[in-house]
Structure 1
Amino acid sequence: MDRSLYQLQPRDFIKISLQLHPCCIDMLKHCFSFSLCHRRVTNSTRRDSTCSEFKLGLSDPSGYLSDWNDRDDTPCGWTGITCDSLSRSVNSVDLTNASLAGPFPIFLCRLPSLASISLYNNNFNSSLPLSISNCRNLRSLNLSENLLEGPIPYTLAEIPNLTHLILQANSFSGVIPASFALFRRLQTLNLVSNFLNGTIPAFLSNLTSLKSLALAYNPFNPSRLAPELGNLTNLETLWLTHCNLEGSIPESFGQLSRLIDLDVSNNMMSGTIPTVIFRLKNIVQIEFYNNSFSGEFPAGWSNLTELRRFDASMNELAGPIPNELCELPLESLNLCDNKLVGLLPESIALSPNLNELKVFNNRLHGSLPSQLGKNSPLQIFDVSSNQFSGEIPASLCDKGVLEQLLLIHNSFSGTIPASLGKCKTLNRVRLRNNRFSGEVPAEFWSLPHVDLLDLGENSFSGSISYMISGASNLSVLYISKNQFTGTIPKEIGSIANLVEISASDNELSGQIPSTIGNLDQLGRLVLRNNKLSGNIPMGIGSLKQLNELNLANNGLSGQIPDDIGSLPVLNYLDLSKNQFSGKIPLGLQNLKLNVLNLSYNRLSGDIPPLYAKDQYRDSFLGNPGLCGDIPGLCTGKNSVKNQGYLWLLSFLFILAGIVFVVGVVWFGWKFLNFRKTKKGITMLKWRSFHKLGFSEFEILDCIDEDTVIGSGSSGKIYKAVLSNGEVVAVKKLCERSKTDDESFTNVSSGKDAFEVEVETLGKIRHKNIVRLWCCCNAGDCKFLVYEYMPNGSLGDLLHSSKSDLLDWPTRLRIALDAAEGLSYLHHGCVPPIVHRDVKSNNILLDAEFGARISDFGVAKIVKTVNRGAEPMSAIAGSCGYIAPEYAYTLRVNEKSDIYSFGVVIFELVTGRRPIDPEFGEKGLVMWVCNGLDQTGIDHVIDPNLDSAFKEQISKVLDIGLLCVSSLPLHRPSMRRVVKMLQEARAGSKTRRATKDGEVSPPHCCEDPLMKEV
């Protein structure tokens, strides 16, 4: 045959085929299949139309297709192209992670032998054309992790041999096409993480060849599972997380005899745990968590001999855990946050594969199985908040892999087994609020990987061992309310990561070791109610992160060190009930204290002018040498005598006053209505949260349009300079029209932004949360008075001409400060608080660029934190910062804040806004991901940053990538984020954490929602 036949164009093939005998057409097809995607070069000007059009129709910023040269004899050596070994025709195109952009390359459907297309993790956009059905020989189509949108083409069902259809993590919308009922060979259908609505259709039951059905993370309408799906007898994986499912699991699901993985977590399913699951002989994993299943556990678990993981946490289950469930070879058993009662059966200790046992927040009682851990490689053991008693089994760490031991809020007794002192893998120990006693084994103090050691509220005795220096990773030491004696060992000063030492209410004695001054990360030092003596060590002034210093009720003496006044973030200082003498350092006036207590010491001299006011009287009681500065401060005998006369006179005045008040009630009422500011605002209610040196009327006198320093959706913010020289910020919220009521009201609570912010900030005391001094309600307008932050918001400064003030060390400090503030809201508040509007404009900067979280108008107190995310009736947050799952499920928890904080990290690293015209519809998150994949980190980092910090910036960027993970469960907690940022700043290897431990971050645009099928 003439060689030119291999160079035919499509139009030539059509013309010739019309003139030939049918017996010759098959031969022509062979030639044409070869010529469609390549040609043998005889003339350099000739081009193959399919390959040229494919490459020209795409954006290829990384040069992934650079070796696609249509002058080659064959494309079979091109990147991503696979050919049949005999016919040399193209049968597979795999362009995974190629950073390609543009519309779907429909030209590929011209390749007649093409059986597989994988365009996973690219930026293909627009809609998927109906002509996709022209790929007639296609068996596998993987378009996951792209930007495709619009409805799913109904014509996909016209591809007769399609077996794998994977469209995960796009933006497809609408319903699942009815034509999908026509698939006859489909084995995998993956539509996870799109925007599909309607319901999960019953017609999918026609796909009898289906082995994997994955529809998780779609905002389907609330509906029940269709019983017809029980006809999918070849099904092995059923993944329906976050699908708005209601009701119970149909009885027909007992026919799914080949099912290995059943996941209906994070829905609204109810009823008892269905006994139908006991017919699933091959089931390996069952995920029922975060639903509303109730009742006791049914019998029949012994039938599930292959079961390895069972998670029914966050439901409403009750009753004991069945013995037969515990006798299974489970690798993970998670029954937390239910209403389980009864004993933990001894048989659970027989499980040879059990590595995770969580039954916290139930009503279980009795002793733990004595052999627990002897046969099981336990890694996580959490039985907190139950009614357990007895001792800790000595065999818990026999396999040497135990990482977390969480026993808080029970009635355990006895001592800590010596064997746990050899458990070097432990990284988290919480034994608080039990009845433990005796000495803590010396080796237990020195566990090298423990970052939280919580022994508080027990009856432990003995001393803190000098071996504590071996606990090099320790960040929180909480041993308050025990009976510890002896001195605080000087070796404690070598634990560089310590953030908190809480040892109050013990019997510790001796001096505070001077090595405490080495702990430059220490934020909280609480030693009240002990028997400590000597002076405060002079190195205390080097603790620049110290937020709380509480040494009350000890026997400390000497003078209060001057350098306490140099602690930049100290806001809680209590040195009361000691024997301090001498003068009060004037430097204390430099502090912005929420709490100051120097009472009942031997102080003398003048009180610093800032504190020589009546509102600070209680801060200085019991110091005879301080009597002269605040009238009535002393309480000597003469004062008592004079006080008696004062009481008598007061009584007479009160009696006369009753008569007088009746006469002036009318006048008083008129006066309250008349007493207005220059702007005509009536003061109805005033509430302060700190001791103040100004009145509400002085605040109102400072409100003027010339003093506006900012504005937002809830009102304007003014700078108020008071008569005493103090500067405050005042937020004015005025009554909205009825059309605005909805935006002005916190839809989750029915309270307006004023009430929410007052309730939230009024009870928060943290160095990285903006301080609310006071509030006042003036009827039509309401006012919130805050500490003034001279450098404004991070967003305004970062995205302005003054951004050069923010070098990288400053930006990293801001990130860490903001993270600590959010960590306090999530982990330090009971119940936790979700901010819901974390953004750079809500992070304020003080004069030293220290960061404070502000604007709590839409904050949510998560009263049912153990039930997971709470549904809201409307979206709260700011464009560019809203977590993807929140945007369409309206469910809020701490993970939503963590995603928003990840966006803030990206802002700090890139210097770019979260929404920018350059990004199109993608936003900063996708821009960063694409940039890292296409051009590398150098093109993502803000060019104004010093390249000497590139390694540190890279680590922080990794942390941001974890925070913006598409799957909320893969985002680290804020406590872990703080830890990682601290390690990044210290230059140590960044530890990357997820829900289930520490792992490397996902590939930049790789959606961790991807589940193996």
Structure 2
Amino acid sequence: MSWMRSLGCVFVLSYCYLVLQTDAQITDPSEVAALKSVKKNLVDPMKHLSSWERGDPCASNWTGIFCFDTYATDGYLHVRELQLLKMNLSGHLTPELGQLSRLIILDFMWNELDGTIPKEIGNISSLQLLLLNGNKLSGFLPDELGYLSKLDRLQVDMNYISGPIPASFANLSSVKHLHMNNNSIRGQIPPELSKLSTLRHLLLDNNNLSGYLPPEFSDLPELRILQLDNNKFIGSGIPDTYGNLSKLAKLSLRNCSLQGSIPGLSSIQNLLYLDLSKNELNGPLPPTLFDNITTIDLSDNHLNGSIPRSFSNLPSLQRLDLRNNSLSSILGEVNLPENVTLRLGGNPICHDANIPNITQFCEPEAGGDKTPERLTNSKVSCYVQSCPTDDFFEYVASSPVHCFCAAPLRIGYRLKSPSFSYFTPHVNQFEKYVTRSLNMNSYQLSIDSFFWEEGPRLRMYLKLFPPVNNVHSTMYNATEVQRIRDIFASWQFPPNDFFGPYELLNFTLLGPYGQSMYCCYFFQAKMKFQILS
């Protein structure tokens, strides 16, 4: 069987070679010119784009270029996706990108690009995913991006973008995800964004926003996550109308210079995570909260009065942080389940000798404010059969076949706005979520490691192993590699408010996936897109 596999790969490699040599012009000439301009303005030290120097983009399988399978009425094929995730590219984006008139995905995530975002991208009316996060882009967000009526996801986070949010973004009538966090965006959040009836996630934390929180956001019917931490809404309060956000799962307004009292939010039945810490909020704690909530952080404010009895009767609660306020008493007994963390340090209540066992909640938490939770799995020890002594093959820990040896796909993955503060209790739930989304068995996924980052965001490294079947294949074939990558890179995971939005950090083909399979991978990837388009 091994000689047949070798022969098959030789055939595909030979086909790739022949295709690469063709001079046939089947791609729209204006798009070919645009791609050549893209390459001219990029610095490619790893030579990832060397295939762009020969042949035709659609015929010769240029790296990161995926085309439609059918010829348009103009007689040409057109570029469907431009995916250049984490290729060590620097330089800048060329205005000629706007000539890729039928593009659906534009992905330059996790490179070193600088300069500004070309306004001409706003001409790509077909665009659904605009993914520019994790670069060094600067300047203003172009008003013209508001022309992208089919855009589902805009990710420009973790750049150096400045200037205001364009009011024209109110025209993004299909958008579900606006991720603009970790930039230098300034000014007032346009209240016109309340027109975005499909918006699910609005991430604007770690910017220089000011002004007020738009009360009009209460009109966003699909909003699940509103994350605005580390901005300066000086003198602004939390609008009472936010209690009308019936689908909201996470409200995070940490360190936003907010004043006034905490509005009634108990009508938000889906709320899982509430962080209003490090503000200037005053008055009493709300008397009623939410049965589903896992995390409440109201620390470092000016809250006073009593802790309501309802706080000790929240079935899903994991963490309640009320430190550094002016709380003086508690209604009811302090009997919390073992899995609940209560922090009261810095309140007058900690000096009340009449409250039994109160001191245990007033002591500093080990590790400070940051959650020390992390996990690193060690390799499984097996001596029943041999496994190649390199870093690319390993034993599958939960395999139904004892000491099954295989080469995993290694994936960098990060939850950008999870609705929980501790991950360990939810690891099994997360593993089921991922494997079901990928149509895999649970033993095929291993969380190699995870740890919390500033945000808080949860970074992890996943390993995906091939299934155990009658063949007992030790590695994925190229078609399956592409299928898995498509799901991650195109955000085909079903929405999950608890885990929140994710980002793909890397999908690097190493070892057996990075040698002879490399050509097969892109060849079969193109063929798969042709079949599905």
Q: 1:837 to 1:765 in 2, by over 3 A?
A: farther
CA contact (8 A) 1:331 1:354 kept: no
Which residue of structure 1 lines up, in the alignment, with residue 494 of structure 2?
978
1:324 Cα deviation (Å)? 5.8
Which residue of structure 2 lines up, in the alignment, with residue 520 of structure 1?
246
Paired residue secondary structure (1:543): coil
Q: 1:378 to 1:283 in 2, by over 3 A?
A: closer
**Structure 2: how far apart are the matches of 1:743 and 1:372?**
45
TM-score (norm 1): 0.36
1:751 Cα deviation (Å)? 9.9
Equivalent of 2:273 in 548, 554, 568: 548
Which residue of structure 1 lines up, in the alignment, with residue 447 of structure 2?
861
**Structure 1: how far apart are the matches of 2:496 and 2:321?**
35
1:420 Cα deviation (Å)? 1.3
Equivalent of 1:249 in 8, 13, 22: 13
Which residue of structure 2 lines up, in the alignment, with residue 574 of structure 1?
297
Which residue of structure 1 lines up, in the alignment, with residue 344 of structure 2?
620
1:743 Cα deviation (Å)? 11
1:582 Cα deviation (Å)? 1.1
Q: 1:861 to 1:375 in 2, by over 3 A?
A: closer
CA contact (8 A) 1:331 1:353 kept: no
1:979 Cα deviation (Å)? 4.4
Give the alignment of 1:574-723 within 5 angstroms. Answer: 574-591=297-314, 592-606=316-330, 608-611=332-335, 619-628=343-352, 629=355, 630=357, 632=359
Q: 1:283 to 1:747 in 2, by over 3 A?
A: farther
- Partner letter of residue 576 of structure 1? S
Which residue of structure 1 lines up, in the alignment, with residue 141 of structure 2?
416
Equivalent of 1:460 in 185, 192, 199: 185
CA contact (8 A) 1:508 1:531 kept: yes
**Structure 2: how far apart are the matches of 1:408 and 1:596?**
33
- Partner letter of residue 223 of structure 1? S
**Structure 1: how far apart are the matches of 2:432 and 2:128?**
26
Paired residue secondary structure (1:861): strand
1:486 Cα deviation (Å)? 1.2
Give the alignment of 1:131-280 within 5 angstroms. Answer: 198=1, 222-225=5-8, 245=9, 249-250=13-14, 253=15, 274=17, 276-280=18-22
- Partner letter of residue 511 of structure 1? G
**Structure 1: how far apart are the matches of 2:56 and 2:529?**
29
CA contact (8 A) 1:531 1:554 kept: yes
CA contact (8 A) 1:329 1:353 kept: no
CA contact (8 A) 1:547 1:572 kept: yes
- Partner letter of residue 526 of structure 1? S
**Structure 2: how far apart are the matches of 1:326 and 1:536?**
62
Give the alignment of 1:192-591 within 5 angstroms. Answer: 198=1, 222-225=5-8, 245=9, 249-250=13-14, 253=15, 274=17, 276-282=18-24, 318-319=46-47, 321=49, 325=53, 328=56, 335-336=63-64, 353-374=78-99, 376-509=101-234, 510-538=236-264, 540-564=265-289, 567-591=290-314
1:474 Cα deviation (Å)? 0.6
Paired residue secondary structure (1:746): coil
**Alpha-carbon deviations, 1:113-141, whole Å to 9, x = none?**
xxxxxxxxxxxxxxxxxxxxxxxxxxxxx
Paired residue secondary structure (1:549): strand
**Alpha-carbon deviations, 1:341-396, whole Å to 9, x = none?**
xxxxxxxxxx9944422111111101111332146443321111100000001111
Paired residue secondary structure (2:258): strand
Larger radius of gyration: 1
**Percent identity for Structure 1 against Structure 2:** 23
Which residue of structure 2 lines up, in the alignment, with residue 746 of structure 1?
398
1:441 Cα deviation (Å)? 0.8
- Partner letter of residue 13 of structure 2? I
**Alpha-carbon deviations, 1:431-455, whole Å to 9, x = none?**
0100000111111245211101000
Q: Which has the higher contact order (CA 8 A, sep 6+)?
A: 2
Q: 1:770 to 1:373 in 2, by over 3 A?
A: closer
1:318 Cα deviation (Å)? 3.1
**Structure 2: how far apart are the matches of 1:492 and 1:480?**
16
Task: Note the residue ranges of structure 1 that are not aligned, 5 or more in a row.
Answer: 1-197, 201-220, 226-244, 254-261, 263-273, 286-303, 308-315, 338-350, 637-687, 691-737, 753-762, 774-783, 787-817, 828-832, 839-856, 876-885, 897-966, 983-1007
CA contact (8 A) 2:91 2:113 kept: yes
Q: 1:596 to 1:631 in 2, by over 3 A?
A: closer
Structure that is richer in helix per residue? 1
Task: Note the residue ranges of structure 2 that are not aligned, 5 or more in a row.
Answer: 36-43, 66-75, 364-371, 375-383, 386-393, 405-414, 450-458, 499-527
Paired residue secondary structure (1:560): coil
Paired residue secondary structure (1:621): coil
1:573 Cα deviation (Å)? 0.9
**Structure 1: how far apart are the matches of 2:401 and 2:207?**
40
1:627 Cα deviation (Å)? 2.2
Q: 1:867 to 1:621 in 2, by over 3 A?
A: closer
